[in-house]
Structure 1
Amino acid sequence: MVHPTIPRDLDITIPLPSPMNPLPMPAAPQYPGLPSSQPDIRSCPLPGVRCPTCAANGKEVWVIPGRACGNCGTPCC
């Protein structure tokens, strides 16, 4: 396979950003439910239930409703 010849006078320099023209900042992700300094974004608490099996054994384990307890595996609703 023959490669084409690259001309020696080819300019492949990459300009650096100047202070007058900085690169744009990446967009920050917004997470619903977390506090924000912006007035149009509200926070909402995530619900949680205690696992009844763990509570009966004297342990305090909180589970997202509809998921299984990570400690004992009991489905919690």
Structure 2
Amino acid sequence: MHWGYFHPFGFIFFLLLLGLIFANFRLWRGKRGFCYQDRHHHDPLLILDKRLASGEITIEEYTKLKDFLSGKQK
């Protein structure tokens, strides 16, 4: 059968290619966001800031722990 310039599988291949590009972009973006959040989730100073903001520690404890973490031990 003569299809001319349009091959029926060419259109399906084009849609498949677009789908793979879109899926790759979504996965890449999702992993990037996960790594960013995961890296900052375990940052000691960020955890210390959150503990101060939630009222778990006092300002005096915060400054002592911050100095200890940054290497300014007395």
TM over 0.5: same fold? Answer: no
Task: Work out which structure has the larger RCO, using CA pairs closer than 8 Å and 6 or more positions apart in sequence.
Answer: 2
Normalised by the length of structure 2, the TM-score is 0.24
More helix by share: 2
Normalised by the length of structure 1, the TM-score is 0.23
Considering only CA atoms, is the larger Rg found in Structure 1 or Structure 2?
1
